[in-house]
């Protein structure tokens, strides 16, 4: 299966990607995770993108597209299928992705659009916590770690992302709303768009998508 996950910040792209990765045995490529790893390791790319991420702005198209291109050209990462999370985020990125995938012979099957309402998004993002070491996702109400501040999976430190404050969430939503429609229209025109109500629990969303894949 070859997928992209679309949807606003906090719609649950990362959460669902972790479930789908196991269910479908495909690679998960998250541009947000890759960029945060670069920031954590204080690489020159990490220093370059920090101001954009912490301000809730988009990193320039050419920077993220280069990352995606190198993932697809190395390690045969997409041999058994893939799922992109957080890319594309602009119509230009969607066009670049088709060019990259066309070259590798691995064109998309579906673009999954996770629809979520603003109150749910705010509640999810302000309560989100992430493991600094392995990236496991938690939520202070929906899915708290067993021991406060400690990751259930690897015992790493659980922290709050710098862009998960109300002011930056608002900027991220504005940026998202400006770019979302052209991407949705792009995949709709290709007949690849599938929409799902992501206000539901992640297990329900998974079930809906798995039955849709089984039926196709």
Give the interface with ligand AP5 as residue ranges (CB under 6 A).
Answer: 7, 9-15, 31-32, 35, 52-53, 56-59, 64, 86-87, 89, 93, 124-125, 128, 137, 139, 142-143, 163, 172, 201-202, 205
In the bound state with ligand AP5, the residue whose beta carbon lies nearer, of 32 and 187, is 32
In the complex with ligand AP5, the residue whose CB is nearer, 133 or 142, is: 142
Output the smallest distance, CB 57 to ligand AP5, in A.
Answer: 6
DSSP 156-180: -BEE--TT-SHHHHHHHHHHHHHHH
129 is catalytic: no
**Residue 13 is among the residues annotated as catalytic for this protein:** yes
Question: Residue 106 burial (CB < 10 Å; 0-12/13-18/19+)?
Answer: middle
The residue annotated as part of the active site, out of 36, 89, 124, 129, is: 89
2 an active-site residue?
A: no
Give the list of residues 6+ apart from residue 24 with CB closer than 8 angstroms, or none: 1, 81, 83, 213
- Taking the complex as a whole, the smallest distance from the CB of residue 187 to ligand AP5 amounts, in Å, to 15
User: Rounded CA gap, 46 and 167, in Å?
Assistant: 22
Min separation Cβ 195 and ligand AP5, Å: 15
> Which residues 6+ apart lie within 8 Å of 90 measured at CB?
58, 61, 179, 182, 183
Smallest distance, ligand AP5 to C-beta of residue 76, A: 22
Question: Which residue is nearest to ligand AP5, using beta carbons?
Answer: 32
Q: Are 69 and 100 within 8 A, CB to CB?
A: yes
> What are the residue numbers of the active site?
13, 89, 128, 161, 172
């Amino acid at each position: 299966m070859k997928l992209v996950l679309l949807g606003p910040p906090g719609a649950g792209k990362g959460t669902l990607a972790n479930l789908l990765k196991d269910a479908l045995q495909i690679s998960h490529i998250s541009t947000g995770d890759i960029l945060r790893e670069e920031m954590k390791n204080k690489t020159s790319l990490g220093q370059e993108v920090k101001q954009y991420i912490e301000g809730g702005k988009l990193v320039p198209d050419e920077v993220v597209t280069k990352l995606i291109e190198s993932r697809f050209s190395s390690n045969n990462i997409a041999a058994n299928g893939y799922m992109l999370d957080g890319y594309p985020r602009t119509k230009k990125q969607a066009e670049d992705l088709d060019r990259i995938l066309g070259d590798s012979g691995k064109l998309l099957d579906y673009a999954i659009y996770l629809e979520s309402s603003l109150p749910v998004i705010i509640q999810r993002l302000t309560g989100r916590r992430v493991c600094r070491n392995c990236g496991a996702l938690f939520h202070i109400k929906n899915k708290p770690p067993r021991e406060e501040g400690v990751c259930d999976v690897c015992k790493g430190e659980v922290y709050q992302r710098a862009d998960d404050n109300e002011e930056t969430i608002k900027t991220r939503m504005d940026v998202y709303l400006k770019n979302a429609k052209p991407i949705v229209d792009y995949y709709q025109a290709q007949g690849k768009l599938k929409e799902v109500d992501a206000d539901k629990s992640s297990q329900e969303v998974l079930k809906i998508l798995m039955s849709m894949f089984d039926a196709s």
